[in-house]
Amino acid sequence: MIPTVLSVAGSDPSGGAGIQADLKTFSALGAYGAAALTALTAQNTRGVTGVMPVSGEFVAQQLSALFEDLDVRAVKTGMLGDPDVVDAVAAAVRKYSVRNLVVDPVMVATSGDRLVSDETVVAIRDRLLPLATVLTPNLPETATLLGWPEVGADRMAEAGAELRDRGASAVVVKGGHGGGAEAIDVLVDADGVHELRAPRVATKNTHGTGCTFSSAIAVGLAHGKPLRDAVEEAKRYLTDALRAADTLSVGGGYGPVHHFHAMWS
């Protein structure tokens, strides 16, 4: 049977990030995608011009409808609009004994626009992070969650370990915002520290990379793969999607990665 993976995230009407990127990733990697919307955004490849949160009560209603009918094998969270939404997600994770939870703490868009309030950051850190099978922050998000001024390449393992100490079973600190010839991510889990390396792809079309990576991990877990295998395969998929990104021509800003690079000629 094809496993069902659920994305709990915001909508990106330009199709490159958020729910839209998650569903494309699920489909490309062989999972059935379901979605619960947490926020509507007005955005394109150039930036975000508006955010309209969905109420926590209605997010909870969506989640109840899905979990009471679908056999959800993994859940991936993205942008969570406010603390009430975070609480609704955390309550559903506990109530329905979610087996695999990938938390992508989306706080800042690729364009640099801040997407959530300080109160929401605290709610994610204190109430959702401890439930995560794996947490996937980028460097700015890692610093925000820890209250550090910044996180550089030399402190990625330390930062991942500290986030694990706050309750996450595993943490992947993503190094895409760093420099150098390689894009280096650091996985910290119960077995220690594991680096994931790939050549840095020279493209401006990076919209939705975090959403795509975390969604790919969720698919791997839904297929029953060990966490390290799921993370490594997600890294390879994202790298290939970035390499093919320039074959698309979407918008005038930060375009999307090519989710269906292996299928479209």
Positions marked catalytic: 174, 206, 208-211
Cβ(208)–Cβ(233) under 8 Å?
no
* Residue 101, CA distances (Å) to 114, 150, 173, 227 in order: 24, 26, 16, 11
Q: Edge-to-edge strand order for the sheet containing 101-103?
A: 47-53, 32-44, 4-11, 72-77, 101-103, 134-135, 171-173, 182-189, 192-199
Name which of 43, 63, 36, 41 is nearest 51 in CA terms.
41
Q: What is the DSSP letter of 138?
A: B
